[in-house]
Amino acid sequence: MKHFNYLTACGLLALMTACSTTQVQNTIGPPSQVQADITYLGGRAKQYVTPQNQVKLHTLGVAIGNLSNADISDVLALIPTPSGTTEQLLVMTLKTTLQLVVTLYAHNNGTLLSYFHAISAGILANY
């Protein structure tokens, strides 16, 4: 999982800096790899995610799959408040991945939607 290291590193970076003041890598793997990485990370984190947040993650996955443009503000509001470090890593990785995809592909709606569907499928594989 070549790009899993990117998602993990960005999640850790998000925990430490909220990705607001630090430059992060501005490339991302293809949608299939992003989906695989999120599926893997979600599976590893699932035992640490509260039942309430599992429901919220499912709702988030469905909402991301229904996005049709680069406006993710409503979806970001659905991201659950993490109750522990592992949940925080997962949530910040999802948020950062969404923001990166919009930053990179807002000008190309077809590619953007491919990534949204991949992120959604990755979340829904576990939640």
Q: What is the mean pLDDT for each group of 10 consecutive residues in the chain (127 residues)?
A: 54 48 68 97 96 96 95 92 93 95 94 97 97
Q: What integer pLDDT is reported at residue 73 of this predicted model?
A: 92
Q: What integer pLDDT is reported at residue 27 of this predicted model?
A: 79
Q: What integer pLDDT is reported at residue 100 of this predicted model?
A: 95
Q: What integer pLDDT is reported at residue 96 of this predicted model?
A: 94
Q: What pTM does this model have?
A: 0.80
List, in order, residues 6 or more apart from 29 with CB less than 8 Å away: 2, 3, 6, 37
Nearest to 42 by CA among 29, 26, 58: 58
Contact between residue 119 and residue 38 where contact means Cβ atoms under 8 Å apart: yes
Q: What integer pLDDT is reported at residue 26 of this predicted model?
A: 63
Q: What integer pLDDT is reported at residue 5 of this predicted model?
A: 54
- The helix, strand and coil proportions of the chain, stated in percent and rounded to the nearest 5, come to 70, 0, 30
Q: What integer pLDDT is reported at residue 3 of this predicted model?
A: 52
Q: What integer pLDDT is reported at residue 65 of this predicted model?
A: 96
